């Protein structure tokens, strides 16, 4: 039986939130297979550059290693994870089991998500669960932090200590729906918010001024590394609600080195985001090693 005291606990992200620091997180996908070497290689490039590494949980309903297990592997290697927990694949029993397991392993940061629809992924015939959704999952985490389960029965072996966040999409077409959902997540216990990919920073500014202002919850703007014009066009087709502006696509198409141009664009967006909100959430699919150069170019200092 493992000695649970041997698991390290990292709380740098929570401390940075409390201190009001400019926050930097980055997304890394778990492996599609049993070997975490590539995931660790990419995550290692982020050491000292981000406050925490966000591990996806079946993003786009594509099957990968458990986010809980992948987060534990990062923690064992001295990298603080934010473990995504999606409601799509587990009922309330499974969700509570994983949350207790996360706490026991020393994982403290949780991003509570409803989850992408099954038909969008690589197992479209799988049966979706959706017993809960993001707001009710946040409520559940708050209960478990208070030492009670979903049915308000006492957790005999101790309360949890999880730092829960949620997703937000400032570019949502329904402004009233966006405001209502955001407020419900704050009320349910969300301590931070990571946004979807941001392409319209005027909309982000409006969201910050009209909705987020007054709640004192950090918003991390989603910054996505576009590797080429073709990549940008694919994102426009494949990701609902995202519209990469044509001038950016043209800029990538004309560049001698599209990846280098994409890094410059991402750095410029980080600089804009710094003027509007408390952090950035970096996404660079399969090129997480480019995140540090983006942050350098944007003038973002290393994290302590």
| The pLDDT value given to residue 7 | 61
Q: How high is the pLDDT of residue 4?
A: 47
Average pLDDT over residues 183-209: 96
> Is residue 224 packed enough to be buried (19+ CB in 10 Å), middle (13-18) or exposed (0-12)?
buried
Query: Is 21 within 8 Å of 52 (Cβ atoms)?
Result: no
The mean pLDDT of the chain is: 94
> What phi and psi, each to the nearest 5 degrees, are found at residue 261?
-70, -40
Closest to 29 (Cα-Cα) out of 61, 59, 52 = 59
Average of per-residue pLDDT across 19-45: 96
Q: CB-based contacts of 5: which residues, under 8 Å, 6+ apart?
A: none
Query: CA 49, CA 168: separation in Å to the nearest integer?
Result: 23
Rounded to an integer, the average pLDDT of 101-127 is 95
CA 184 to chain centre: 19
Q: What is the band of 246 on the pLDDT scale with cuts at 50, 70, 90? A: very high
Architecture of domain 12-227+268-291: Alpha-Beta Barrel (3.20)
* pLDDT tens column, 267-297: 999 999 999 999 999 999 999 999 999 999 9
What percent of the chain has pLDDT above 70? Answer: 97
Beta strands in 187-241 (DSSP E): 193-197, 219-224
Q: Which pLDDT tens digit goes with each residue over 56-68?
A: 999 989 999 999 9
């Amino acid at each position: 039986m493992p000695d649970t005291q041997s698991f390290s606990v990292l709380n740098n992200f929570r401390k940075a939130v409390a201190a009001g620091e400019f926050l930097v997180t980055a997304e890394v996908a778990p492996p599609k297979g049993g070997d975490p070497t590539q995931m660790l290689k990419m995550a290692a490039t982020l050491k000292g550059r981000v406050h925490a590494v966000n591990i996806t949980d079946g993003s786009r309903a594509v099957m990968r290693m458990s986010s809980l297990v992948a987060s534990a592997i990062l923690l064992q290697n001295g990298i603080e994870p934010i473990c995504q927990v999606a409601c799509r694949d587990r009922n309330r029993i499974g969700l509570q089991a994983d949350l207790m397991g996360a706490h026991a392993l020393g994982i403290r940061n949780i991003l509570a998500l409803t989850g992408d629809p099954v038909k969008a992924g690589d197992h479209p015939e799988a049966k979706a669960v959706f017993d809960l959704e993001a707001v009710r999952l946040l409520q559940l985490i708050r209960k478990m932090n208070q030492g009670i389960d979903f049915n308000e029965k006492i957790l005999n072996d101790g309360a949890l200590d999880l730092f829960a966040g949620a997703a937000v999409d400032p570019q949502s077409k329904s402004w009233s729906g966006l405001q209502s959902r955001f407020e419900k997540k704050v009320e349910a216990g969300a301590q931070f918010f990571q946004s979807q990919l941001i392409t319209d920073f005027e909309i982000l500014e409006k969201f910050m001024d009209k909705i987020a202002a007054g709640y004192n919850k950090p918003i991390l703007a989603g910054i996505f590394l576009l590797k080429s014009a073709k990549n940008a066009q694919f994102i426009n087709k494949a990701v609902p609600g995202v519209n990469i502006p044509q001038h950016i696509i043209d800029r990538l198409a004309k560049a001698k080195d599209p990846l280098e141009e994409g890094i410059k664009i991402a750095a410029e967006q980080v600089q804009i985001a710094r003027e509007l909100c408390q952090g950035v959430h970096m996404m660079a699919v399969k090129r997480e090693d480019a995140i540090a150069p983006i942050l350098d170019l944007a003038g973002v200092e290393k994290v302590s």
